[in-house]
Chain A
Amino acid sequence: MKNTRLATDTFFRYLIRFVSLFSVLALAAMLLFVFVQGAEPFLTPTSDSIRLVAQNIPAITVNGTEYVNHSTFIPVDLDSTELRLEFVNRGQPLVIPVQINNEVEKVEDRLSFPAEYAGATTYPEAYTWMLKLPGTIVGLEQSVTILFPEPPYNFFSFLGGQAWRPTHLKLYGILTMIVATIISTFGAVLIGVPLALLAAVLIGEFMPRRLAAIVRSGIDLLAGIPSVVYGFFGLMIIVPLVQRMFDAPSGSSLISAIFILSVMVLPTIVAITITSLQAVPRSWREASLAVGASKMQTAWRVVFPAARSGILAGIILGVSRAIGETMAVILVAGNSPQFPTAFTDSVRTLTATIALEMGYAQGRHSQMLFSVGIVLFIMILILNTIVLRLKKHLTKGL
């Protein structure tokens, strides 16, 4: 009897310890998977071979190998200098030799088709050529699509590139989004922080307890409103307001995003500021009042500086909330990947890009969205580290 009791105790001790590891595992898995997926575009080309897609061509011979009713990619060795396409077009057997020159700087000129087919070839997307020939009946055109592998993307043209054209030009520059994220966050902090700090000192230091509790539940309510609802409100009220106020062509703009974000960072900053103000010992306030300082002087010159590391932690948490906010920003910011030159310009943030394009992104484009996630991850981890340092400082200081 006693033995089973002790055995149960030991069993649960180990079980609890084991299950507790889950959070660490989950975090490690998140970091690992997102980083591995996001790092891939910078390390490997999109495929190991040139790939061909033949449409409405029952049998095609590529460099001597015949493919009959082939419905997937036809792989061709990357080192080939010539693509010799043989197939039957409207009853006539054709032989089309395509020269490959990998030395050429401009990707579009790397393939050269015979002169008589120049009119039939197009370059619809970067790294993609298309040869289109009329078929036996209209609508059944024969086509050969040649897909070159994209080489590993340069990390610096990812971070510093200004053009985000993922589908046609295969350009993945995110500088405009980084700038938009930073400006909108900064603007939100600039408006939100003074409001939040003034209100927090009033609630934490001057309000009677009962009133403070009611006011704080209002602040909690502000924190609980779903971001889509903020976005909805922004789109219905703020966007038309901005349009009218600035006489802009569209109200979906940087300033609308800043306004919505500044409301959304308020509850975080207010709540953490109040908590850190309350952590300042009562004796400090009493000492200050005893030497003749007013309540206001005590609050702003004694209590506030004493709580500064906690307050800073709150502000930084507000910043990470603004950086990570997605849905509200999508609805009000307009989402054009461009540098804002005015407050009424449409902008697109890092988070918006992920949420907007993940639905249809394929291949490298999809991986690039994970790379955007890594950039976001690193920003947040840096901010988190600062917060943790500040919290340590806070507990040590008091």
Chain B
Amino acid sequence: MATKKNNDRLTRPDPAASSPAAKTAAAKPAAATQVATGAEAGKPSAKQPAAGPANPADSGQAALSPLHELRRLARRRRDRKDRLLYGLMVFATIVIFAVLAWILVYIVANGIGHLSFDFVFSRAENSILPMLVTTMYLVLVSLAVALPIGITTALYLNEYSKNTRGVRLLRLAIETLAGIPSILYGLFGLLFFSRIMGFGQSIIAGALTLSIMILPVIIRTTEESLKTIPLAFREGSLALGTTKWQTIRKVVLPSALPGIVTASILAIGRVVGEAAPVLLTVGIAKNLPKSIFQSGRTLTIHLYYLTKEAIHAEDFHIAFATATILVIFVIIVNASTRLIASRFTKNMEH
């Protein structure tokens, strides 16, 4: 059907009529051939050589013009489809960012007014100081465990390992760990660290659980940064007669430092934002923890309980303020990793 229309238009002699004709033709087949749009771009061009000699009587100008018109028609139809798709894509992106903005603005706008120095740092009844301290303990202990192990594993994978079966198994294990939902880490931590090792519900049990959870993040990020260090750095060092370990300690690790810092920040972000495994292993005790062997309540768990049990308006105010602190923290984490990443790539280029 489309080809018949095209032929009709090809035999039309009047070049002056080309512009309105193109308009009507563009409007009509658009409805008729919408299903076949995929073939549209190819078909007319295949028809051209046959159509050309069919009208030898036409003047040179007239012969060129329908061809020209045809191409323009095809292009216009394609352009319209492209524009539609482009509009859809822009729409999708705007929707995503609208949701992001909605969440951020709603929480920060409602919470920022309730933030005060007393709310965060005093020992008043509603202050979140105990939660901050618990969260900080959790971050410090889990990083202290996971960072050395993670960096060492990344060093092994990038500097020492060959593609053996054992290394493939190691990579498989890391990939699998990265995909396991956090609640399952919570189950394991509750069983192993709290019950079998006897830590009970305490910060240390939670920190050990979370340290396994953040291990894949640290390994991946550190390995990425190790990969960007030019081979020449290592060769230069080895050529001076150093051992491999000396090269790693004096050349590789210092160059990978920004990557390691990024890994730590990402890991901190995950520990602070995590809730499910913390609920199972650290517990919900609201008082200021005296040591890491006591139970505590992190910011996220505090927000969870406030949200579930809020009755008074005051509870909602505290919930909003806590959520605001979490959101601000996430923004700081994101900004700082980006900053370090851009600095790092600049340094490497020099």
**Bound pair (A, B):** yes
Instruction: Assess the B177–A376 pair: CB atoms within 8 A.
Output: no
Q: Decide if A302 is an interface residue (CB 8 Å cutoff).
A: no
Residues of A near B106 (CB, < 8 A) are 233, 236-237
Q: How many residues of A contact B (CB 8 A)?
A: 88
Residues of B near A133 (CB, < 8 A) are none
Q: Decide if B136 is an interface residue (CB 8 Å cutoff).
A: no
Stretch at the interface among A20-28, A105-113, A136-144: A20-28
| Closest Cβ neighbor of A27 among chain B residues | B173
Q: Which A252-273 residues have a C-beta within 8 angstroms of B?
A: 263, 266, 270
Instruction: Assess the A202–B93 pair: CB atoms within 8 A.
Output: yes
Instruction: Assess the B191–A296 pair: CB atoms within 8 A.
Output: no
Q: Which B196-217 residues have a C-beta within 8 angstroms of A?
A: 196, 212, 215-216
Instruction: Assess the B92–A381 pair: CB atoms within 8 A.
Output: no
Q: Which A360-398 residues have a C-beta within 8 angstroms of B?
A: 369-370, 373, 376-377, 380-381, 383-384, 387-388
Instruction: Assess the A224–B92 pair: CB atoms within 8 A.
Output: no
Stretch at the interface among A149-157, A318-326, A340-348: A318-326
Q: Which B83-116 residues have a C-beta within 8 angstroms of A?
A: 85-86, 88-93, 95-97, 99-100, 102-104, 106-107
Per-residue interface assignment for chain A, residues 91 to 123, with 1 indicating a CB less than 8 Å from any chain B CB and 0 otherwise: 000000000000000000000000000000000
Q: Decide if B303 is an interface residue (CB 8 Å cutoff).
A: yes
Residues of B near A232 (CB, < 8 A) are 107, 303, 307, 319, 323
In the complex, what's the smallest C-beta–C-beta distance from A84 to chain B, in angstroms? 38
In the complex, what's the smallest C-beta–C-beta distance from B135 to chain A, in angstroms? 11
Instruction: Assess the A24–B170 pair: CB atoms within 8 A.
Output: yes
8 Å CB contact of B79 from A26, A194, A198, A294:
A294
Instruction: Assess the A23–B177 pair: CB atoms within 8 A.
Output: yes
Q: Decide if A287 is an interface residue (CB 8 Å cutoff).
A: no
Instruction: Assess the A320–B184 pair: CB atoms within 8 A.
Output: no
Q: Decide if B172 is an interface residue (CB 8 Å cutoff).
A: yes
8 Å CB contact of A296 from B82, B157, B177, B187:
B82
| Closest Cβ neighbor of A320 among chain B residues | B179
- Given A325-B181, A326-B275, A370-B191, are A296 and B85 neighbors across the interface (CB < 8 Å)? yes
- Given A326-B182, A331-B307, are A5 and B156 neighbors across the interface (CB < 8 Å)? no
| Closest Cβ neighbor of A259 among chain B residues | B99
Q: Decide if A68 is an interface residue (CB 8 Å cutoff).
A: no
Q: Decide if A235 is an interface residue (CB 8 Å cutoff).
A: yes
- Given A23-B219, A30-B180, A226-B300, are A354 and B78 neighbors across the interface (CB < 8 Å)? no
In the complex, what's the smallest C-beta–C-beta distance from B179 to chain A, in angstroms? 5
Residues of B near A13 (CB, < 8 A) are 160, 244-245
Q: Decide if B256 is an interface residue (CB 8 Å cutoff).
A: no
Q: Decide if B274 is an interface residue (CB 8 Å cutoff).
A: yes
Instruction: Assess the B215–A217 pair: CB atoms within 8 A.
Output: no
Stretch at the interface among B4-12, B17-25, B227-235, B326-334: B326-334
- Given A22-B149, A228-B300, A388-B172, are A376 and B181 neighbors across the interface (CB < 8 Å)? yes
In the complex, what's the smallest C-beta–C-beta distance from B144 to chain A, in angstroms? 14
Per-residue interface assignment for chain A, residues 176 to 218, with 1 indicating a CB less than 8 Å from any chain B CB and 0 otherwise: 0000000000000000001110110111001000000001011
Per-residue interface assignment for chain B, residues 259 to 286, with 1 indicating a CB less than 8 Å from any chain A CB and 0 otherwise: 0000000000100111110011000000
In the complex, what's the smallest C-beta–C-beta distance from B211 to chain A, in angstroms? 9
13 pairs from A and B in contact (CB 8 Å cutoff)? A8-B245, A13-B160, A13-B245, A23-B177, A29-B192, A217-B338, A222-B96, A225-B330, A228-B300, A296-B81, A320-B179, A351-B183, A384-B175
- Identify the B interface with A (CB < 8 A): 41, 78-79, 81-82, 85-86, 88-93, 95-97, 99-100, 102-104, 106-107, 148-149, 152-153, 155-157, 160, 169-170, 172-177, 179-188, 190-192, 196, 212, 215-216, 219, 243-246, 248, 269, 272-276, 279-280, 300-301, 303-304, 307-308, 319, 323, 326-327, 330-331, 333-334, 338
- Identify the A interface with B (CB < 8 A): 5-6, 8-9, 12-13, 15-17, 19-24, 26-30, 33-34, 37, 194-196, 198-199, 201-203, 206, 215, 217-222, 224-233, 235-237, 263, 266, 270, 292-297, 300, 317, 320-321, 323-327, 330-331, 351, 354-355, 358-359, 369-370, 373, 376-377, 380-381, 383-384, 387-388
